[in-house]
Amino acid sequence: MKHHPTITDSIAVFIATLGPVGRLPKAPGTWGSAAALAAAPWCFIPLPMPARLAALCAVLGAGAWAAARAEKVLDRKDPGCIVVDELLGQWTAFLPFHLAGWTQTMPLELLALFALFRLFDILKPWPIRVVERRVPGGLGVMLDDLLAGVFAAASYALIRLFV
């Protein structure tokens, strides 16, 4: 007997795919990161640090639930259309920067952080790949991107320190 998706299943898939973003053709992870980049100057960067941390916690919690449920609905482990993890990772990369507000160099900084996050998300150096393989379900889907965001932020901080 085939499972008919419930309204809760539909909501989970909508969250997991960031609506239509995860269904865009080719490179859904990059589309998800681009959506996070586009939304950040209005939905994330203006927030004070405690609110940024709360937003990341909310995205982690909702994303882990939605990704786990979407995996079941779609009957696939970590399908490419799940891109809520890119939102978490990309905003994690942005977390420590731009605390003074909008600056003239901010668009370039955001693009650099976007590129660094995509690099770490695609290459998955240790321990990112270990987390991706060993942590099951929706939490595993989310945590490897969280780590990629931490790596991107740390790398960018080092670049800024030395350049």
**Mean pLDDT within 8-30:** 96
**For position 95, what pLDDT does the model report?**
93
**For position 97, what pLDDT does the model report?**
81
Q: What pLDDT, in 10s, does the model give residues 74-133?
A: 999 989 999 999 999 999 999 988 665 556 678 889 999 999 999 999 999 999 999 999
Q: What pLDDT, in 10s, does the model give residues 39-73?
A: 998 999 889 999 999 999 999 999 999 999 999 99
Q: How many CA atoms lie within 13 A of 158 on its CB side?
A: 7
Q: Quickly state the pLDDT bin for 1 (edges 50, 70, 90).
A: very low
- 104 vs 139 pLDDT, higher one: 139
**For position 116, what pLDDT does the model report?**
98
Domain definitions of the chain by residue range: 7-162
The CA distance from 138 to 158, in Å, is: 31
**For position 107, what pLDDT does the model report?**
86
**For position 106, what pLDDT does the model report?**
81
Please choose, from the candidates 26, 41, 22, the residue with its C-alpha nearest in 3D space to the C-alpha of residue 91. 41
**Mean pLDDT within 20-45:** 95
Q: For residue 4, give the DSSP letter.
A: P
Return the ∠ at Cα 151 (arms to 77 and 105), rounded to 5°.
Answer: 120
Q: Give the pTM.
A: 0.93
In contact, 85 and 141? CB cutoff 8 Å: yes
